[in-house]
Every structure is written in C-alpha cells, then in structure tokens.
C-alpha cells in the first residue's frame, strides 16, 4: 500500500501501479507482485490526484482519482451541522490513533487539523449526525480506504456533492486492489504514545 505520511503530489491509481516497475524492477523481483496485464490496464487511466468527496445530504464518502470512483462508503457526520463544508488537506495518517478516551478514533484516522476522517466502534452513528464534527466510518470501511489516501490528499466536504462525482467511470480492470503495490517494505503507521485531539 502507499507509504504512510508520504506526500504524493500526483498520486493516482496509475502512478500507484507504475511504481511497481520503477527503478528497474522486473517480474523476477518478488518485492512487487503485479502482472503485465495489471500495468497495461493501468495505462488506460490518466494521472490524477487522489481526492475525497463527502456529500452531507446523503452521508456518502467517495474516494476519487480524477473521474474514477475508487471507493464509496457511508459515513457519520457532526450533529447540529458541525461538520464544516470546504476543502481540507490530509496532514496525518495513523493506524490506531490514541485519543482522550480509548478507541475514540477507531482503527485508523486521516487527520485534517481539528477534524479527521476516522473509524468508530459506534455502528449506529454511521448514516447519522452524532459526531462533534469529524467524519466517521465503520472500522472495516476505514481500513478499506486508508491505503488509498496519501498525506496531502484533498478532502472536499459539501452539502450536496453529487455534481462533483458526475460523470464518473468504473475502473478498467478487476478492482482497486489490483492497482495498489503490495509487499512494500513495512513501515510503522502507529503514532506511539502521541494523543490526538481531533473533535471526534
């Protein structure tokens, strides 16, 4: 998956695959397990940055690469309209972020200053307005999108973001997982004893 806390200025699905053959890697190099078919399919995709679109009216989050939808997830939002609208930048990528109380941010978090996109154990809050402003996903959904979103990705939050995601296109291959480099050198994505103070 993408290296944690690394900035990808032009990160997109195609660049993710291209990295598997970069710096002279060959099919004999087992650090990367990608087929020629995967790479050929990826060439059909434009170089586009990864960005996240959050539509408040239907509680939906979409991970996009240009007009390609990589993932669609249902989210929980802030009560009393506390989730702000606008464009934010992912500044932190953390597995099992620590908060003021245990499990406050679930399995993973993408920090954006005071706010974050993070997991939650409170399944009832998904599709509802119960948070203090953060964007919540189930832990399983959070772990699905976490490898796709690098530091520096933009998160666009709008009252109704339907116009942002249309027209959109399906990926020209089996699925998103086939376009993400695997077996990269392990990197610790936890934050040790650091405590985060996202609004939650």
For the chain, residues with pLDDT lower than 50 are 1-37
* Eight-class DSSP state of 42: H
Identify the structural domains of the chain with CATH numbers, from first to last: 13-179 (2.40.440.10)
Q: What is the pTM of this model?
A: 0.72
pLDDT for 139 equals 96
pLDDT for 181 equals 56
The number of CA neighbours under 13 Å toward the Cβ of 97 is: 26
Enclosing H/E stretch for 54: strand 50-55
- Rama region for 6: left / alpha / beta (φ>0; ψ in -120 to 50; rest): beta
Enclosing H/E stretch for 64: strand 60-65
pLDDT for 42 equals 54
Query: Sign of the CA dihedral 118, 158, 179, 1?
Result: negative
Cα gap 38→138, rounded to integer Å? 30
pLDDT in tens, 130-152: 999 999 999 999 999 999 999 99
pLDDT for 177 equals 64
pLDDT for 85 equals 96
> Tokens in use for 111?
């920090």
Query: Sign of the CA dihedral 73, 74, 76, 81?
Result: positive
pLDDT for 24 equals 36
Which are the catalytic amino acids?
118, 134
pLDDT for 185 equals 63
Name the 3-class secondary structure at 53. strand
């Amino acid at each position: 998956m993408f290296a944690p806390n690394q900035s990808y200025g032009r990160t997109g699905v195609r660049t993710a695959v291209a990295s598997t053959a970069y710096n002279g890697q060959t099919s004999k190099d087992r650090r990367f397990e990608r087929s020629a078919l995967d790479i050929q399919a990826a060439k059909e995709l434009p170089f586009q940055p990864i960005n996240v679109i959050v539509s408040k009216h239907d509680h939906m989050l979409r991970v996009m690469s240009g007009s390609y939808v990589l993932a669609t997830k249902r989210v929980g939002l802030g009560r009393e309209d506390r989730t702000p609208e606008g464009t934010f930048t992912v500044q932190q990528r953390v597995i099992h972020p620590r908060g003021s109380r245990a499990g406050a941010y679930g399995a993973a978090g993408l920090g954006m200053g005071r706010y974050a996109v993070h997991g939650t154990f409170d399944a009832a809050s998904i599709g509802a307005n119960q948070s203090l402003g953060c964007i919540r996903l189930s832990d399983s959904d959070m772990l699905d999108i976490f490898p796709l979103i690098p530091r520096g990705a933009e998160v666009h939050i709008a009252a109704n973001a339907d116009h942002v995601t249309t027209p959109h296109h399906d990926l020209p291959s089996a699925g998103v997982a086939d376009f993400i480099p695997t077996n990269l050198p392990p990197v610790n994505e936890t934050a040790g004893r650091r405590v985060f103070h996202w609004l939650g």
